[in-house]
Chains A and B, each alone.
Chain A
Amino acid sequence: MPSLSAWKITALVVLAIVLLALPQVVKSSFAIDIFIRILLFSFIGVAWNLMGGYAKQLSLGHAAYFGLGAYTSTIMQVDFGISPWIGMLAGGVVAALASLPIGWLCFRLRGPYFTIATIATAQALMLIFLKFRDLAWGAEGTTIPNLGSAPLMLQFETKASYYYVVLGLLALGLLITYKIEKSWMGYYLVAIGEDEDAAGAIGVNAPRIKRDIYMISAFLTALAGTFYTQYIYFIDPATAFSFSISIEAALVSIVGGIGTLWGPVIGTVLLETTSALLQSWLGSSTGGIQLTVYALILMAVILWRPTGLMGWINDAIQRHRDRRPVTPRTAP
């Protein structure tokens, strides 16, 4: 598809206007906080989806890169006074470089054991940051000095400003995904995801492609880590390398539809809205209810709708166009 159709461009422009105007219309800081969470996890999901969705390398260890990004920028800011904007880029580079040895180890395994190896590397990084106090404050973590309004230091007085930053990140992630999807690399990724050996047999350099997409995915995930730390003004190993970040990155993509441009965004909107509704109905006293519901949604999607919400939406559009029943789509 070389050019976007007219109605798609219109839809994109309308969406952009709505998203840009949202914090000007909605003033509730609770609501903006939820919007920021949705945009942030959409972005993390988009980063995960590049490798997990298109190439089907199911990582449950993306917290490793989230944490590396968060720690790189925080160490640079707190110890050396360097702006987190620069730290954010540096964190991305650190994460991309770290993905090389981690990928070298984990890609030796395939399927579920690749997934386990990624879990182990993220947990190992968390343990390293917990154990070595000289490295970065140990288990207690540290608070980020509050400078009030300091846009150059990635600190703002209003939540709306954070909203625009993370909206920009998400736009960047979607643009990169779109470019990759339409390039030769996108086709190679899908080929690897379908059948790695067959892709290799027709001349796709699978190890190199996997390495490259892992670097891009790690780079983007690290940007989210810096943003999150600046947003909550605090960092410790348990938050920065939290397993729940790895879970959510994968979950939003699967529920939304893996290997699709908008899947992670749609998945995040559904899951985070559900989570916010549950919290406002039940209060925060019932620990475990949010993940119980997430687990049930995930099981339902896998058993009945393996192409995710995007698959369902595409089927509906197709049905509307054809005016005839569609054959059920098989699992990706």
Chain B
Amino acid sequence: MLETVAQAVINGLLIGGIYALVSIGVTLIFGVVKIVNFAQGEFVMIGMYISFFLFSYLGIDPLLSLFVSMPVLFVLGALIQHFLIRRVLGPNDMPQIFLTFALSLLLLNLSLLLFSANYRTVHTFYSDEAFHFGGLYVPEAKLVAFVVAMLLSGALWVFLHTTDLGKAMRAASQKPDVAVLMGINPNRVFAVAFGAALALAGAAGSLLMPFYSAYPFVGQVFVLMAFVAVVLGTLGNVIGALIASLMMGVAESLGIQFVGADSGLIVVFAMLLLTLAFKPNGLGGGRMR
């Protein structure tokens, strides 16, 4: 019994690392640009397809394709911010919601047209390997994904706290007007934040590829998790989103283990509704950390 619980917790933490990459992206955009990116999941999907095609045509390992998917999505993110999002910023959130929502709809259906609804998988030499600790079982691909996800999250935290650009981003998120007066160029900061968030989503996609199938709707699973994690971890809070994502991974995995294989999402929705009912401001404080 104890072993089953421990195994479920390990599985949950490992996938929670991937959720963290997606939710940190969502919360970064929300914190800095002050919009919710409904299309974040579709960028995970794009990251997966990049890794899939690099593997199937050029034989490049999905982990190496991180070095392609992240820069490509960073540039894509900066362009989307510059040419689309920038035009709808302001106090009215209706166009913001529906612009990113339209983007999600567009990317999803374009990929359905271009790549079909087929499930694509990549089989690497480590896809079936696993470490054994006592009776516990840790798949190699998932462990690598988790470690890289934590490293990237840590790198973002260091970037936000030590570099000038990172500090400018935090300043712009806390007091946008004052930040502009201090000589911070909001357009540049927003473009970098949007790009960085999409790069994280792309990284999540590449890291998923060795053990998860790519298909046009794949992003929806992750974006829903991310939204719940971001509410749970307090809007705009990077560390809150990270911790909440790991918790959600564990909760989902325990739900699958003890309630039934198809009940993972029910657990997630239950968590969202409980959070809204009892902790509508999230579990932590309000500021971006």
- Report the Cα distance A306→B98, complex, angstroms: 11
| A109-B280, A124-B266 known; A331+B106 contact, CB < 8 A | no
- Report the Cα distance A127→B269, complex, angstroms: 10
Q: Does B112 contact A (CB under 8 A)?
A: yes
Shortest B31–chain A CB gap in Å is 13
**What are 7 inter-chain pairs, A to B, with CB distance below 8 A?**
A58-B97, A58-B98, A60-B101, A108-B276, A113-B235, A115-B36, A299-B99
Interface residues of A in 40-64 (CB under 8 A from B): 56, 58, 60
If over half of B's interface residues share one DSSP class (helix, strand or loop), that class is named, otherwise mixed; here it is: helix
* B109→A291 contact, CB < 8 A: yes
* A116→B227 contact, CB < 8 A: yes
* B95→A331 contact, CB < 8 A: yes
Shortest A288–chain B CB gap in Å is 3
Shortest B6–chain A CB gap in Å is 27
A275-292 vs B, Cβ < 8 Å mask (1 yes, 0 no): 000000000001111111
* A302→B224 contact, CB < 8 A: no
Q: Which of B36, B102, B235 contacts A298 (CB 8 A)?
A: B102
Q: Which residues on the A side are within 8 Å of B99 (C-beta)?
A: 299, 302-303
B260-276 vs A, Cβ < 8 Å mask (1 yes, 0 no): 00110110011011001
* A298→B231 contact, CB < 8 A: no
Q: Which residues on the B side are within 8 Å of A189 (C-beta)?
A: none
- Report the Cα distance A111→B84, complex, angstroms: 19
- Report the Cα distance A83→B259, complex, angstroms: 38
Interface residues of B in 96-119 (CB under 8 A from A): 96-99, 101-103, 105-106, 108-110, 112-113, 117
Please choose the segment from B86-94, B176-184, B242-250 that sits at the chain A interface, where 4 or more of its residues have CB less than 8 A away: B86-94
Q: Which residues on the A side are within 8 Å of B266 (C-beta)?
A: 124, 127-128, 131
Q: Does A316 contact B (CB under 8 A)?
A: no
Q: Does B228 contact A (CB under 8 A)?
A: yes
Q: Which residues on the A side are within 8 Å of B231 (C-beta)?
A: 109, 113, 116
* B109→A288 contact, CB < 8 A: yes
- Report the Cα distance A292→B108, complex, angstroms: 8
Q: Which residues on the A side are within 8 Å of B36 (C-beta)?
A: 111-113, 115-116
Interface residues of A in 286-332 (CB under 8 A from B): 286-292, 294-296, 298-299, 302-303, 306, 331-332
Q: Does A150 contact B (CB under 8 A)?
A: no
Q: Does A74 contact B (CB under 8 A)?
A: no
| A116-B227, A295-B102, A303-B87 known; A258+B273 contact, CB < 8 A | no
The interface size bin for chain B is 35 or more
If over half of A's interface residues share one DSSP class (helix, strand or loop), that class is named, otherwise mixed; here it is: helix
* A254→B276 contact, CB < 8 A: no
B208-238 vs A, Cβ < 8 Å mask (1 yes, 0 no): 0000000010000000100110010001000
Shortest B246–chain A CB gap in Å is 20
Q: Does A191 contact B (CB under 8 A)?
A: no
Q: Which of A58, A109, A117 contacts B94 (CB 8 A)?
A: A58
Q: Which residues on the A side are within 8 Å of B38 (C-beta)?
A: 112
A84-120 vs B, Cβ < 8 Å mask (1 yes, 0 no): 0000000000000000000001101101110111011
Q: Does A180 contact B (CB under 8 A)?
A: no
Q: Does A123 contact B (CB under 8 A)?
A: yes
Q: Does B1 contact A (CB under 8 A)?
A: no
* A288→B113 contact, CB < 8 A: yes
Q: Does B9 contact A (CB under 8 A)?
A: no
Q: Which of B216, B235, B263 contacts A131 (CB 8 A)?
A: B263
Q: Which residues on the B side are within 8 Å of A238 (C-beta)?
A: none
Q: Does B277 contact A (CB under 8 A)?
A: yes
| A113-B36, A286-B113, A303-B84 known; A294+B276 contact, CB < 8 A | no
